[in-house]
Amino acid sequence: MEVDATEGIQTDHTETKEAEETGLQEECGVFGIYDRSGGDVAADIYYGLCALQHRGQEACGIAVSDTAGPAGNICCHKDLGLVSEVFKEETLGSLSGNLGVGHVRYSTTGASVRENAQPLVLNYIKGTLALAHNGNLVNAEELKEELIYGGAVFHTTTDSELIAYHIARERVHTGSVEEAVLRAAERLKGGYALVIASPRKLIAVRDPWGIKPLCIGKRGEAYVAASESCALAAVGAEFLRDVEPGEIVTVAGDRIYSNKELQKKHKGPHAHCVFEYIYFARLDSAIDGLRVYDARLRAGRILARTCPAKADLVTGVPESGLTAARGYAAEAGLPFELAFYKNSYVGRTFIKPTQKERESGVRQKLSVLAPVVRGKRIVLVDDSIVRGTTMANLIRMLKQAGAVEVHVRISAPPFLYPCYYGTDVPSGRQLIASEHTEEEIRELIGADSLGYLRTEGLQEMAGELELCRACFDSCYPCR
């Protein structure tokens, strides 16, 4: 992934500019837990969200309730910032309850303002509902128009509020909240993973295509649902399984049960987001039976076979390119070296107004280990080139440190098309590969050679797993 000096929380007036300047961004992360023994769960949600922090750094929140208390006793705290910034010991201590959901956010719809932070909490005629959502809906405008003409008043600009309102509306006419969730989900088109807390139930929902990841685990009498298995491990929960595409899992009292009606109505194949394996998910996670570390290692090996280079060593762009670089080096029979030092203590910054300042930001985050690269022909591996600016800066830094040649290898095909399901891929005009040939890109970034993973290599990387790779080939599973 291209490292960019412009990451950070953006306000309304900088959001458009930020989208033009940065590359791919993370999605969102969801976490839910129901401790049937009655223990408080706010601290568990905190640690789960910390494990999912890589999926969103703009905002976060926790909502909890006590299933033994009166209905509607939800306590919620959310704000802009990292999990460790938003939640202090006294804040967590005020969130008492054995059922709760949490969320880390990167905005793919809606501005980066506190009102759009999640979980969303609704008080309605049937009680209360707390919802955390990862993904985007492709029929959001249609659903919103329907609600507006029905008298709904919106407090956020996110897809998530649409989902919550539709569940609340269906609940008025159904016998249970899980039935209301099913009826609402039947109206949704797009990629989504939901964790929902009603007064006495925890509900996990995954879209029928399986675009967004979601899994469940267990620790003693507590059941956990999370975007990635690494969050289960963070709270000491045993991974049970992935929530199946189109499945609704409900934990209620001493029961846990599954509804697959949504799955049965789905027409067409599954479409798991390929970028979970290339970039988004944490290395120690496994999604739908495929370990992220293994997938990235395999991508590097495939890349070495299809795009070899005469070189002295292989290195990767921290952190996202390192595992694929190891795979490339192993397959090519070349030494793997760390050529960059990453300064983990550089704070998040707002958009820099000039190219010079952006380049300075990159240098603050990454510095070259000159003795490693001096006089060497280098293969530099990363997972993508989005705009090309950062890659050009890194190549320039390597050559200034004495590298003789820099051969760039990318462990994904070129980005050509936007994503509509919750991955913040810039629009076509901002994607360097949509405007330039591979040779033109090579010249623009200053590389001695450039090679991408071929589209067919993605399937070799993923095995039998059905993938969504629309950002590479425009074959969208749902529009």
Per mean pLDDT, which range of 14-18, 255-259, 370-374, 450-454 is the poorest? 14-18
Tens-place pLDDT, residues 242-290: 999 999 999 998 899 999 999 999 988 999 999 899 989 999 999 999 9
Amino acid 331: pLDDT: 98
Amino acid 127: pLDDT: 85
pLDDT band of 292, cuts 50, 70, 90: very high
Encoded amino acid at 168, one letter: A
- Active-site residue, 28 included: yes
- Give whole-number Cα distances, 119 to 35, 78, 189, 266, 284, in Å: 19, 8, 21, 28, 26
Residue 460 structure tokens: 């070799």
Q: Is pLDDT of 350 > 50? A: no
Task: Please state the domain extents for the chain.
Answer: 12-268, 291-473
In this prediction, residues 366-375 reach a mean pLDDT of 96
Q: Is pLDDT of 477 > 60? A: yes
Tens-place pLDDT, residues 436-456: 999 999 999 999 999 999 999
Task: Show Cβ contacts of residue 324 under 8 Å, excluding neighbours closer than 6 positions.
Answer: 296, 297, 299, 300, 303, 316, 381, 382, 383, 411
Question: Mean pLDDT in the chain?
Answer: 88
CA distance 405 to 398: 9
Q: Whose CA is closest to 256, among 217, 288, 228, 229? A: 217
Q: Is pLDDT of 352 > 70? A: no
Tokens 């990453």, located at residue: 342
CATH of 291-473 among 3.30.160.100, 3.90.1150.10, 3.40.50.2020, 3.10.20.30? 3.40.50.2020
Q: What SS3 state is found at 132?
A: strand
Q: Is pLDDT of 382 > 70? A: yes
- Is CATH 3.60.20.10 the right assignment for the domain spanning 12-268? yes
Task: Show Cβ contacts of residue 176 under 8 Å, excluding neighbours closer than 6 positions.
Answer: none
CA distance 120 to 135: 15
In CATH terms, are 12-268 and 291-473 the same topology? no
Chain-centre distance for alpha carbon 461: 19
Q: Which residue has the higher pLDDT, 139 or 359?
A: 139
CA distance 176 to 165: 16
